[in-house]
Structure 1
Amino acid sequence: MPRNKTNDKRVLVIGLGRFGGSLSEELVTHGWEVLGVDNNPRRVQAYADSLTHTVVADTTDDEALRQLGAHEFTRAVVAIGTHLEESILTTSLLVDMGVPHIWAKAISRRHGRILQQIGAHNVVLPEHDMGERVAHLVSGRMLDYVEIEENFALGKTRAPKEIIGRRLGETRVRSAHGITVVSIKRHGEAFTYATTDTVPQKGDIIIVAGKTDAVERFAELG
């Protein structure tokens, strides 16, 4: 399957520690196919029954990554823990292969800066971005996601076509989708409160609030 297809629901997760394992299982729960990779056979075995595919491999080896088909994925997560060299080398190889969307776990802000410098598209600090939250970002159209409490969330996404060029009061998004548009941001401008008279334009970023599943469904309309 060509990796530029938007319906490619496969994710490569490298590193099956606590963070990578949690993320992988959450993605599977959301209907994604996950190839989980680790150089520790015990970790791989622990997730063999819960993930789509699991493989023992050294991902600092270019040939090993290519045999896994890493270059065919649109999304990859480098969730390697405390081994900085392995994290950096693996991320660098994925960048060289042209993987379009790479998330990389950092154990410090310095580590995170290095990952960004070598080309990681998104850097995750575990104390700020836990597996469940990142799963929403990897698997959907949301630009950010925060669960305020159980089953209620805020989602940052692009304004979907059905509300573009119309007053929010006319769109009836609350009754139709169970969400409320609480804020909006136009290119080059700051976020501002959304009102019933607000008219979203193409490319606008919006923040919506509602039950978790409603926020997820609305984000997919984009």
Structure 2
Amino acid sequence: MKLIIIGLGNFGLSLAEELLSAGYEVVGIDNSPAKIEEAKDMIPSVFCLDATDKLALSVVDIKKDDVFLVAIGKDFGDSIKIVATLKSFAGNPIYARAVNKLHESVLEGLDVARILNPEKDSSRVFVQSMPTKGMMEVMKADDKHSIVKLTATEKLNGITVGRNGFDRFSLKVLLMSKRTTKKNIIGLTSYTQEVVENFSNDTVINTGDMIVVYGENDNIKLYLEYYSN
């Protein structure tokens, strides 16, 4: 899995530095030769291209499990056009920076995986919750345990919590929420999560639901191997 950062300004470079330090494979994209020149000593693979052009993006070896990070802050229009272009790829998660509430509402309407707010989320905190293979986010509890947020794929659709394999890997389900639709402030349909107050082993999981579990890192790894096969 590669993390493809589009926009190599201060926020994009900060993200790249933290991601590389955490061991992720990072690719950088910007349409400014000056920014590419600045980034090339830090990021092993950089491309100077227009990310609103899908043909131009074809020079990047994009795999189905790669994640896009749109880190552009100043140009609202370019950010939206880039996200719209990236949506044409086969389901790659898109994380995008929002500079104001209007920008955030449009990104919600485009159904990005996560909206980044540098004023609230430092690059270090963000990297600690970055998704890894298996459509999840991880937060370290201690050296041996983690809290994992899974987003249910079609493979889990219709399966109950009790039949999901959590007990087999000694994972404790802490929270579950259901994916629902709503209209945002500019009338676009967006998605939100509503917490299931009294879930049980008989609660049915549907595509897009969120499940938060806690357990030992080794058991989480084993479960994810099972989950992704």
Tell me if TM exceeds 0.5. yes
**AA of the residue aligned to 2:54:** D
Distance 1:186 1:60 in 2: 34
1: CA distance between counterparts of 2:63 and 2:177?
35
Q: CA-to-partner distance for each residue in 1:80-118, whole Å, 9 max, x for gaps?
A: 111011101111111023342111111112101112223
2:197 matched to 1:205? Answer: no
Contact 2:66–2:92 (CA<8 Å) still a contact in 1? yes
Determine the structure 1 residue equivalent to 2:10: 18
Pair 1:190 & 2:196 matched: yes
Which residue of structure 2 aligns with residue 177 of structure 1?
Answer: none
Corresponding residue for residue 227 of structure 2: none
Structure 1 pair 205–98 and aligned structure 2 pair: CA distance change class (3 A) = closer
Q: Is the 8 A contact 1:11 1:74 kept in 2?
A: yes
Q: Which structure dedicates a bigger proportion of its chain to strand?
A: 2
CA contact (8 A) 1:11 1:32 kept: yes
Task: Give the conservation status (yes or no) of the 8 Å contact 1:80–1:105.
Answer: yes
* 1:97-108 mapped onto 2 (5 Å cutoff): 97-108=89-100
Query: Is residue 71–residue 99 contact of structure 1 (8 Å, CA) maintained in 2?
Result: no
* Structure 2 unaligned regions, length at least 5: 151-160, 179-193, 225-229
8 Å CA contact 2:131, 2:137 repeated in 1: no
1 CA distance for matches of 2:177 and 2:105? Answer: 28
When normalised by structure 2's length, the TM-score is 0.64
C-alpha separation between the residues in 2 aligned to 1:89 and 1:18? 21
**2:131 pairs with one of 135, 138, 141:** 138
- CA distance in structure 1 between the aligned counterparts of 2:23 and 2:99, rounded to whole angstroms: 28
The Cα shift of 1:17 comes to: 1.6
Match of 2:167 among 164, 167, 185: 164
**Identity of aligned pairs, percent?**
22
1:178-219 deviations in Å (ceiling 9; x for gaps) = xxx693437686367xxxxx989996833549xxxx76x665
* Paired positions, count: 192
TM-score, normalized by length of structure 1? Answer: 0.65
CA contact (8 A) 1:184 1:205 kept: yes
In structure 1, the gaps of 5 or more residues are: 1-8, 174-180, 193-197
- Computed over aligned residues only, the root mean square deviation of the Cα atoms, in angstroms, reads 3.9
Q: What are the residue-to-residue correspondences of 1:73-84 with 2, within 5 Å?
A: 74-84=66-76
More helix by share: 1
Inter-partner Cα distance in structure 1 for 2:100 and 2:220: 31
Q: Does the 8 Å contact 1:164/1:201 carry over to 2?
A: no
CA drift at 1:54: 1.0
